[in-house]
Amino acid sequence: MTEEIKIAVEAIKNAVLSFQYEAAKEVNRVQLSLYFGVGRYLSSKKGKDTWGTAVLDTISSQLRRELPGLRGFSADSLKKMRQFYDSWHFLDSSSQEGEKNVSLPVSDNSGIAIPELYKSGIMIPDFRINAVDFPIEEFFKVPFTHHIKIFQSVKKLEERYFYIRKTVQEHLSVSALTLSIKRDDFDHKSELVNNFASKLPSAKLARRAVEMFKDEYLLDFINVEEIGERDSQDIDEKVVEKEIVHNIKNFIMTFGKDFSFVGNQYHLEVYSKEFFTDLLFFNRELNCLVVVELKKGEFKPSYLGQLSAYLKIIDDKVKKAHENPTIGIVLCKTMDKDFAEYVIQDYNKPMGVSTYKTMADMPQKMQRVMPDIEELKKLL
């Protein structure tokens, strides 16, 4: 074993030992920091004549001898740590413009310079995030195995950010994350018509709001034939509302996560004028009330005016001081997206427009293969 490999083994071993206590307190963040630091060290050696393909095997074997029971530092894992650093190298504070990495020799005759922060030779990074829209909180909550799947499968930064957030928000397993990437959920994410970016207090809240709502909802638990209507085009929104309230659990599961039902036909009053919102929810993730207005036909600009008035009253009379501004969603049967996008920008309240389909709107072939609700109940 060469002197340089001995130095590498000692460097990684000391870094592991230095962070064992901290890892017990903040496992994932510290683990990722450790792997990032090890990855940087290994990346700096890449391409050297003395660092052939077998070097990582040698380092891994020697680490196991010197740290019996050490797990997660196989040659393959070390390679992934190097890839992890290479994928996120711009997060390295020492590489930020204007900063210099102070170094000193490991020994008088080694000739290898290392960062001053750790004489072991591994500098655990002080992350300084200058990247626009980087999901720093979520980044440290994503396990290393998930990070591997993301950086090996996804190249674009924006797309990586999306899957990092999705992993945390939906508590995805590696298999569920793999399926999400395979489905290309990034390119099929919501195209909700909205004005959130300019009307909500922060870009972060606006992004989360966009991710929370869909551009179309399938309310397949509403069967208009069972309601007794012959012509599905003539169904009043009150009928749909009644069915939603009757199936509120199904609706919330369809609508998204972290929604709590507050009420339907929620009473509002201002200057002796009474109003009634169709559906009122509270979303824990967004920390705000959400008004849903149901419309049976095509989108009309007047729907936004009505909704804007409701949001104004709720923010003034109902919203708690610690809550974010109330969000409004118009659910209609059809809409011209370009037209809706055009008119919604002039309203001062955060609003979105989505469409919905009921069982009757689904193709006959699909209706035939959908399971019968009563049969499902029996099975459950």
Q: What is the CATH number of the domain that holds 282?
A: 3.40.1350.10
pLDDT given at position 53: 67
**Does residue 297 share a domain with residue 213?**
yes
Helix (H) or strand (E) holding 378: helix 373-379
Last residue of one domain, picked from the residues 170, 189, 208 = 189
pLDDT given at position 13: 83
Work out the mean pLDDT of the chain and round it to a whole number: 77
pLDDT given at position 372: 45
**Does residue 205 share a domain with residue 341?**
yes
**Does residue 175 share a domain with residue 197?**
no
pLDDT given at position 70: 86
**Does residue 46 share a domain with residue 28?**
yes
**Does residue 351 share a domain with residue 217?**
yes
pLDDT given at position 254: 67
Last residue of one domain, picked from the residues 189, 209, 227 = 189
- When divided into structural domains, the chain yields a total of 3
**Does residue 19 share a domain with residue 45?**
yes
3-state secondary structure at position 370: coil
Q: What is the pLDDT of residues 297-335, one digit of tens each?
A: 899 999 999 999 999 999 999 999 999 999 999 988 899
pLDDT given at position 95: 54
Token duo for residue 38: 């090890």
Beta bridge partners of 283: 259, 288
**Does residue 165 share a domain with residue 232?**
no
**Does residue 247 share a domain with residue 141?**
no
Residues 142, 219: Cα–Cα separation, whole Å: 33
Residues 370, 359: Cα–Cα separation, whole Å: 9
Beta bridge partners of 267: 276
**Does residue 310 share a domain with residue 223?**
yes
**Does residue 151 share a domain with residue 287?**
no
**Does residue 157 share a domain with residue 23?**
no
**What range defines the domain where residue 175 resides?**
133-189
Q: Angle of helix 174-182 relative to helix 144-153, nearest 10 degrees?
A: 20
What's the CA angle centered on 163, arms 128 and 289, to 5 degrees? 90
pLDDT given at position 109: 31
What's the CA angle centered on 275, arms 269 and 281, to 5 degrees? 95
Q: What is the pLDDT along the chain (380 residues), one digit of tens a residue?
A: 788 888 888 888 878 876 764 554 467 887 888 898 899 888 888 776 667 668 889 999 999 898 888 888 999 999 999 999 999 887 776 554 433 332 322 333 333 333 333 334 555 555 555 556 788 888 888 999 999 999 999 999 889 998 998 888 778 889 989 988 987 878 766 678 999 988 999 877 887 888 788 888 777 655 444 434 434 444 566 676 777 766 666 676 667 778 888 988 899 999 999 999 988 999 998 999 999 998 888 999 999 999 999 999 999 999 999 999 999 999 888 999 999 999 999 999 999 999 887 655 544 543 443 344 444 344 43
Last residue of one domain, picked from the residues 174, 189, 204 = 189
pLDDT given at position 29: 82
SS (H, E, C) 239-308: HHHHHHHHCHHHHHHHHCCCEEEEEEEEEEEECCEEEEEEEEEEECCCCEEEEEEECCCECCHHHHHHHH
**Does residue 117 share a domain with residue 239?**
no
pLDDT given at position 296: 80
Q: Are 59 and 78 in contact (CB under 8 A)?
A: yes
Task: Please state the pTM of the whole predicted model.
Answer: 0.50
